Every structure is written in structure tokens, then in C-alpha cells.
Amino acid sequence: MSKTVGTIWNEALEFIKDNVDEQCYETWFSTIKPIKIQGIVLTVQVPSKFFYEYLEENYISLLKAAITKSLGEGAKLVYSIVMENSYDNNIPPTMKLPSSGRRKHKPQSVNMPVAITNEKSIKNPFVIPGLQKLNIDSQLNPNYTFDNFIEGDCNRLARSAGLAVGKSPGGTSFNPLMLYGGVGLGKTHLAHSIGVEIKDNYPEKTVLYVSAEKFTQQFIDSIRNNSKNDFVHFYQMIDVLIIDDVQSFSGKEKTQDVFFEIFNHLHQNGKQIILTSDRAPVELQGMEQRLLSRFKWGLSADLQKPGLETRVAILGKKLYNDGIEVEQDIVEFIAYSINSNVRELEGALISILAQSSLNKKQITMELVKSMVDKFVKSTTREISIDFIQKVVCDYFDMPLELLKSKTRKREIVQARQLSMYFSKQLTKNSLASIGQQCGNKDHATVLHACRTVNNLKETDKRFKTYVDDLQKRLTLA
């Protein structure tokens, strides 16, 4: 008598039970449903594509061994994946949904030990078996802690607020907590420190650090893979979400929409949100007003350039941690000479220590002065897109709003193209970022603008004068 599909799957489950712990079994295997058996091909149903991908990544060998034990060599496992094709926040979590939206797709022919079929149905997006117990890597850097974050007048408010959040995530009025400031001032370090503090105080909480760029790419991938709901569910599970460089969302409407959805869910459920940005919320361009208003719900704390005393303390702490003794007047000279940001300050110190170690030279004032001179000369101030736009607008005597408008008047278009051209030449911003800050244009428009400027300066003497004059103003600034 041939075995039924239930019998075969129960045998497989018995094998799996002997090879995983109870929690793992309950999370990832108890919810799998056997569907049918055809020869040596077993079809099972899993709740989502995310669920399937996790099994494939972590338990494929175990599953293969389990069904081989029941069905013999050459056994195949076919997944039938229930994937959501709608999303409605108004549906209560316990409500049973109608099956009228159900639509089945025939399995694709796949010459692999594991095949996959898709079955779409409307289902409650908040109920995904097992995901609540998922162990998520926090992506935190354990070296970034409050202990090695030097406090000064430049960052006292941000550090104090961060420490309060670290002790009581979601339990303070600092939700969301936005940390903003220029490059190299310690925003990322402080964000990691908060996450590390929370993990130390509340090991059971799920903390996740992710850059805004990575979040955007994950969202794009979820759209491409038809797994947007899984993406949303994943982020809605997080207890403490840290998004770095949130200004990267500017101009990305769909990403802002999905982040708005996730933000609301987390905030309404008392979860902690921490954001970093290179500018204050009021200065963020290309952001939806509804999202900006939520950024302002909690506390926005800025990190400024460190003063001389703070810079001396930062250098002293780093030297102490490395077990290196340097005369105080040398430390003060470095701190006085490098006043741009913490990153460059530490970079200068690392260069000096490397020079001393590799060449077996003592760290003297003469060595430090020669290294600092080279370092300061090589770290010229980067011109910003905002500054370029101001110079161009002043040159053509036009308001900035007109430059960023959608008007197609020839003189306005040329000024806009010149702004894009010099932004590409003089900054490290991506084409997409340049376009977004020059009137919400795409990267193709920026490339076209650069080609147009190059062509016109070769064929139009008056236009070449514009380019030369602006080049001088920008390089001498």
C-alpha cells in the first residue's frame, strides 16, 4: 500500500525534529503543509516567499535529507508559496479573508532538486507564521559604544538623548530620535552606540541598523521579486530600527511611501526609531511633507564641529586606547591644526602613527608638523551642490526657486545645466543625487546637461565665457 502525502511528510518531520531544536522546529517547519505527492515529487505549501527563501538558505540540506529518507534517492521537493497581492492596514489581524481574489499559477518546469510554484491570495499581512521568532542580525558595529564617544559642547544634547533612548527604547519622548550634522561628526558612531546599549540592556529586543541606500535597494529588489509585503512585514517586526543617512530618500517617492508605512506601524506600536541625516529636517529637500512631519515628532539633535578641547580629548582617548604616549603639546598642535571634523582628525593621527611606526621614527613636533602640512593641503574643502547653485544664481541674477522650477525658458535651462555640470565636476555626489537637488531631475537629465555644456562651450563663445567665469568663482571660493 502506497504512503499518503501526510504520512510521508510526518516521516520527514520526525527526521527534522531529531536535527533541530524545538523553537526552530516550531518556527520554520510546523507551519509547512503537505499538498500532494506524485511519484518522488513532494509538494508542500509555505506562507510566503520570505519563508521559502529562508528555508532554502538555511535548511535546504536538512530538507533534502528528510525527503530522501522517506522517498528514496532522486526525491524532489516542490514549494507552493502563498504570496500576498494586496495590502490593507485596515484589516484586523484576526479577521478571516475571502478567497475570491485567489489566482493559481501553473508550476514552471525547473530541472532542479527543488522547484517552486506561486499561489496568490489575499491574506492578512500581519500574520506570518514563525517570523515573530526570527533571529535577526543587528548589523551593529560593537566597537562603536558610548564609552569611546567623546562628549563635548558640540554633541552633548545628541549624546544625552541617545543614552536616554539606550536605557528606555520607545519609552521616552525622543521617538523618533534624529541625529543630524555634517560629514565625519559622529552621527553613525552615536547611532551604533545607541543600538549597542539597547542590546546590552534588552537582549530580547530586535535591533536593526541599515543605511538608507541599502533599505532602498532592498525595497527595489522586493518589487522586482514580487515580495513587497514580505519586505514590509520584516521591517514591522523590528523593535529598534536605525536608518543611517535618511537624506538618501530624497526624491524617491515609492521608497518614502513604504518607509512611511513602516514608520507608522513601528511608532504606533511603541517601537523605537533612530534616524541620521546630514542636515536638519527643515532643510531636507525632495521629502514628502507627511514624512517630514513625522521626523519632527520626537527630537532632532545636531552634532556640530568639535571645539579645541573636544578635539584634544578625542585624540587623547584614541592614543590611550592604542597604548601610545605622545607629548601633550604635540596632541594640542594636531587638534589645533585639524579642525574640520572628527574623521579627518583621526585620519591625521593614524597617518602620523603609521609614518612613525613604518619608518621607526619617534613622534616629534618636526615629524608631526610635516605630516599635518601635507594632510591639510590634501584635504581641500569639498564644494556643495547648494553652494554651486547659489554661485550660478548670483551670476545670472535669478532666484534659486526659478532655477529649480520646471520652466523651459532658455536662460533658465542653461543655468540649470551649468549647475548640474559643475556639480558633477566638483562634488562626489551621484548623478541621481545631483538631479534630485537640481529640480527633481533624473540621472539621464544630468548626463544630457553635461554633454550640452561641453558642446556649447566649444561652439558658443558667449556660453564659454559663462563657463570660464563660473569656474573661477567656484575654484577661488
- Written as one letter, the residue type at 442 is D
Among 3.40.50.300, 3.30.450.40, 2.40.50.100, 3.40.50.980, name the CATH number for the domain at 156-303: 3.40.50.300
pLDDT score at 81? 72
Q: Among 129-138, 250-259, 361-370, which stretch is predicted with the lowest mean pLDDT?
A: 129-138
Q: Is the pLDDT of residue 129 over 80?
A: no
Under DSSP, the state recorded for 173 is: S
Mean pLDDT of 397-413: 87
Q: Which residue has the cell 499518503?
A: 4
Q: Is the pLDDT of residue 450 over 80?
A: yes
Cell numbers for 435: 538631479
Report for 25-29, 147-151, 236-240, 320-324: range of highest mean pLDDT: 236-240
Q: Could you tell me which of 170, 189, 161, 187 has the C-alpha nearest to residue 299? A: 161
Residue 271's pLDDT band, with cuts at 50, 70 and 90, is very high
Cα separations in angstroms, 232 against 46, 139, 262, 472: 18, 18, 7, 49
- Written as one letter, the residue type at 325 is E
Q: Is the pLDDT of residue 251 over 60?
A: yes
Residue 237 neighbours by CB under 8 Å, 6+ apart: 131, 132, 134, 136, 206
Residue 192's pLDDT band, with cuts at 50, 70 and 90, is very high
Mean pLDDT of 124-135: 42
Task: State the pairing for strand pair 240-244/272-277.
Answer: parallel
Q: Is the pLDDT of residue 276 over 90?
A: yes
pLDDT score at 274? 94
Q: Among 92-106, 107-121, 223-237, which stretch is predicted with the lowest mean pLDDT?
A: 92-106
Q: Among 109-123, 260-274, 283-297, 328-342, which stretch is predicted with the lowest mean pLDDT?
A: 109-123
318 in Cβ contact with 310 (< 8 Å): no
Mean pLDDT of 52-59: 75
Say what percent of the chain tops pLDDT 90: 14
pLDDT score at 380? 46
Separation of alpha carbons 49 and 343, rounded Å:
41
CATH number of 385-475: 1.10.1750.10
Separation of alpha carbons 472 and 220, rounded Å:
41
Q: Which residue has the cell 542636515?
A: 279
What are the strands of the beta sheet with 240-244, ordered from one edge? 207-211, 240-244, 272-277, 177-181, 299-303
Separation of alpha carbons 215 and 259, rounded Å:
9
Cα separations in angstroms, 207 against 95, 248, 333, 417: 29, 21, 40, 43
Q: Could you tell me which of 143, 140, 157, 155 has the C-alpha nearest to residue 313? A: 155
Q: Do 308-378 and 385-475 come out as alike in CATH topology?
A: no
Report for 49-58, 202-211, 310-319: range of highest mean pLDDT: 202-211
- Crossing angle for the helix pair 60-71 and 5-17, to the nearest 10 degrees: 130
pLDDT score at 113? 40
Burial 156-175 (b: 16+ CB within 10 A, else e): eebbebbbbbbeebbebebb
Cell numbers for 176: 523618533
pLDDT score at 132? 45
- pTM for this one? 0.50
Cα separations in angstroms, 67 against 8, 15, 44, 49, 439: 8, 9, 11, 21, 58
Residue 98's pLDDT band, with cuts at 50, 70 and 90, is very low
Residue 221 neighbours by CB under 8 Å, 6+ apart: none
CATH number of 5-132: 3.30.300.180
Q: Name the fold adopted by 308-378.
A: Helicase, Ruva Protein; domain 3 (1.10.8)
Q: Is the pLDDT of residue 112 over 70?
A: no
Q: Among 93-97, 127-131, 323-327, 402-406, which stretch is predicted with the lowest mean pLDDT?
A: 93-97
Spans of all domains in the chain: 5-132, 156-303, 308-378, 385-475
